[in-house]
Homo-oligomer: A and B are copies of this chain.
């Protein structure tokens, strides 16, 4: 596949196959817009029915075009696309955008047609964009190769590049963000069904593109999702914020999964895990794109998460405090010397605490803003500043803006502005702020969200530096692989725990008994109380089958229980293959956790952590990461769940052995990678976590082989 996408965005010549003389139709619009936006290369409409289109010479077939265009646009009917793509291949056209719909999104015949296109593209090495897309817009260089209402407008060029799987909605985001949101774009492409160049290919290109500073992706689903982590990390290293909008949270129809881990997983959970793992900012509305984009254009990152708020309206100050604290920032006490300085000019009925309320007194004295801002940015307890100007407008607004711009220029701390005046009544003030790249927002809530996003991203950058020397643990066990080789039925507890043990995950003391006598002997060596569990690949839910007895205190009890669990198992499934009865130590005094592995077809192996029982299953209070993970990532997973205080020592209980738990997660993630060709799903449930220093122990496990 082609990766020199510079040529795609800046084609020297473009062929338009199926160009229509009716410039209002879909097949007429691309030529119209290329012309109207001043495309500087050569245009070759191709259509046997016309000698010319919109004053441009038209060719009967692509073969007749006198040079090899860098890009061809295919606008013909679905049934004729394959033939046109073949002609592009014959002509050695490097990039082709297929606009036509009616392929895999239609099902049936469309799927077959799409497969044919994929094969042709591969055969000829064509970089295909689409099918079922709306084209491309290179705003910086004036290449408008697409259709749709938003192509009518001119756009100010800027540093934001975007790729969207949705055509209609993607271009709406560009249009509103750029025009109403004041966030200027550089390049935008829609990828539709993505049989060739993918969303991640384009993001990779934007990471390398020197003039792209901020990257936006809108996705419904990635076929190469596993790459997300790598691409995200690359964007982070390049210091280009990557904003991703993933839709389709409510996908139904996941295949029935047997393990809890697989039930709790699913695509959206893994997307979010990948975003978090690689510092990708998740966005959830058009306004987020605008707000975060403005934030990042300031070119500053706070050194910590401590925010000071200056306001002329108490109400808005409270609001922003709420929003920022809810999103993980601090609104700390100011240094004592700051309070003293402020006392010199803030009115007595204002507030010298954080938020600093300078009150409507600024109507009478605009100097107040500059003085206060200076005092605040000088405060060592403050990493970033938000200033709230309510609806100040006109001349007063301009005076205030002048002071803000001057104050912000004397610090490298981010200064954000919440200013609720309408654009029309404070144009001069707003122009000054925009020129100085000082992010501004009409709502304190939006301002707070954007600041928190900037602060989170700054923390991701610091985390990247802290973790730069960490390497994931790699483990390999030929024995485990052999054990799972060719398995199709569920692997029962004892065997599954032998696999865990291969990777250094502690498991209960236990042994498999084939007779009651063996069971007695094993129990004696382990010591009472013990548990008995029938092992069968055909009985995954042993408790449901009543094939388990816990807390057996004596040899008499054991003998009776042995017969009982076996006969229950047979009653549950008379054809079940019985491997034996597991005799196992009983565990006391641990917190029950659940660990798991899911091996997603798109993302590959991932690990899950949660607390046991209904915490995981009902409350879905679990964390996921793509495998492998380092110890610091494992700790992050542990601390991330809402129930974490139960491990950290809530309710007067001792702190649990969080380090040993993290180590078990690391090892499980190494297992997941090593066995990724063998394991479909894996549950360790429960994993007992003992008090600090006492480790963890897997008390039950289930492996479902990869199909």
Contacts and interface: CB of A to CB of B under 8 A. Distances in A.
A525 interface: no
A313 B168 contact: yes
A26 B363 CA distance: 7
A402 to B, nearest CB: 17
Interface string A376-416: 00000000000000111110110000000000000000000
A165 B250 CA distance: 39
Contact of A646 (B421, B544, B614): B614
A391 B614 contact: no
Contacts of A557: none
A247 interface: yes
A153 B393 CA distance: 11
B152 A420 contact: no
Given A313-B166, A643-B618, A420 B360 contact: no
B614 A169 contact: no
A460 interface: no
A446 B643 contact: no
B25 A319 contact: no
Interface stretch (A62-70, A437-445, A463-471, A656-664): A437-445
A446 B285 contact: yes
A218 interface: yes
Interface in A125-139: 132, 134
Contacts of A617: 650-651
B618 A322 contact: no
A180 interface: yes
Interface in A340-373: 347-349, 351, 359-360, 363-364
A390 B168 contact: yes
A149 B248 contact: no
Contact of A326 (B179, B250, B319, B422): B250
B25 A313 contact: no
- Could you say how many copies of this chain the assembly holds? 2
Given A26-B360, A422-B175, A315 B391 contact: no
A650 B260 CA distance: 13
Nearest to A650: B618
Interface string A626-645: 00000000000000001101
A172 B249 contact: no
Interface stretch (A99-107, A498-506, A601-609, A690-698): A99-107
A312 interface: yes
A78 B169 contact: no
A153 B318 contact: no
Interface in A73-127: 78, 101-103, 105-106, 110
A325 interface: yes
Interface string A136-150: 000000000001111
Nearest to A648: B618
Nearest to A397: B149
A79 B179 CA distance: 50
A149 B421 contact: yes
B102 A285 contact: no
B621 A646 contact: no
A170 interface: yes
Interface residues of A, number: 92
A171 interface: yes
Contacts of A394: 149, 152
A316 interface: yes
Contacts of A425: 149, 152-153
A287 interface: yes
A302 B136 CA distance: 40
A333 B613 CA distance: 34
A321 interface: yes
A176 interface: yes
B614 A322 contact: no
A394 to B, nearest CB: 7
A391 B349 contact: no
Interface in A278-315: 284-287, 312-315
Contacts of A351: 105
A314 B26 CA distance: 17
A478 interface: no
A316 B392 contact: no
A390 B172 contact: yes
A353 B343 CA distance: 65
Given A248-B322, A321-B250, A650-B617, A168 B26 contact: no
A248 B349 contact: no
Contacts of A325: 249-250
A285 B442 CA distance: 10
Contact of A391 (B171, B247, B249, B313): B171
Contact of A149 (B220, B391, B618): B391
A149 B315 CA distance: 17
Nearest to A389: B168
Contact of A349 (B106, B169, B364, B390): B106
A684 B322 CA distance: 32
A314 B168 CA distance: 8
Given A110-B349, A614-B643, 20 more contacts: A26-B364, A134-B360, A148-B390, A149-B392, A150-B391, A152-B393, A167-B360, A171-B390, A171-B391, A173-B420, A175-B420, A176-B443, A179-B422, A220-B318, A248-B322, A287-B287, A617-B651, A618-B646, A619-B619, A619-B643
10 contacts: A78-B349, A106-B349, A132-B349, A165-B315, A166-B316, A168-B312, A220-B315, A615-B619, A618-B646, A618-B650
**Chain A to chain B: the 4 pairs with minimum beta-carbon distance, closest first:** A166-B315, A168-B313, A172-B420, A168-B390
